[in-house]
Amino acid sequence: MQFFNLHTHKFTNQPDVLELVNQYPQEFDTEIPFYSIGIHPWYIDDNRLQKDLEIIESKLQERNCLALGECGLDKRIEIQFDLQQSVFEKQLILAEKYQKPVVIHCVAAFQEVIEIKKKLKMTVPMIIHGFSKNEKVAKQLIGNGFYISFGKYLLLNPELESVFKNIPNDRFFLETDTIEEGIREVYAFAAKYKELKLSELQGIIRNNYNKVFDLRL
């Protein structure tokens, strides 16, 4: 593995890239080698919630399911926030039960995510994906034990450079999510911002991967 893509919705099947492909319980693709699975807050459906949770619990027991997610909280959607919190907590309990890291979607609800982590006494690694906020929020997340993953906004928002520079090297990942650019382009931006050689950055992310996912590839 030369490159690790923490979060993507598109499997590209490149031999030197390990892609953690986001899957949904009702749209599962058995051809994808490594994946995360979860209920995104946008797609919570009360009518199938129990069935979705059962599918997730089953998949979390498979070796090639590397993480739970993406799941989380989003204050900018119409789905009732109390319901979002309940579904998030039910998934976190499963992640803890099967000792899988968690990939988190969080919009305008960082404090609530931190409080839920504390309330449930989570011990598994928790990663905020697609980070786009300021250094204060980043420091708060790092201080509460989260990892932070950067992708689209690292390429689009020059103001994120200073935030990314100050993230400890043992606390970040890189991703593509839904952008057209490949993970190599994200790595190139990250290496430039961190003032590292590409090989040095690859080593850092490989170490973080080994620590969080504990699956040597």
Q: The domain that contains 26 carries what CATH number?
A: 3.20.20.140
Binding residues for a divalent metal cation: 70, 105, 129, 177
Binding residues: 70, 105, 129, 177
Identify the domain containing residue 95 by its residue range.
3-213
Q: Where are the alpha helices (H) located in 105-147, listed in sequence order?
A: 110-119, 135-143
d(CA 106, CA 109): 6
DSSP, collapsed to helix, strand or coil, labels residue 196 as coil
pLDDT given at position 217: 47
- The DSSP output letter for 48 is G
Nearest Cα residue to 110 out of 159, 163, 73, 164: 73
pLDDT given at position 204: 98
For each successive 10 residues of the chain (217 residues), what is the average pLDDT?
96 96 95 97 96 98 96 97 98 97 98 98 98 97 98 94 97 96 97 97 97 74
Q: Considering its fold, how many domains does the chain have in total?
A: 1
pLDDT given at position 215: 63
CB 40 within 8 Å of CB 103? no
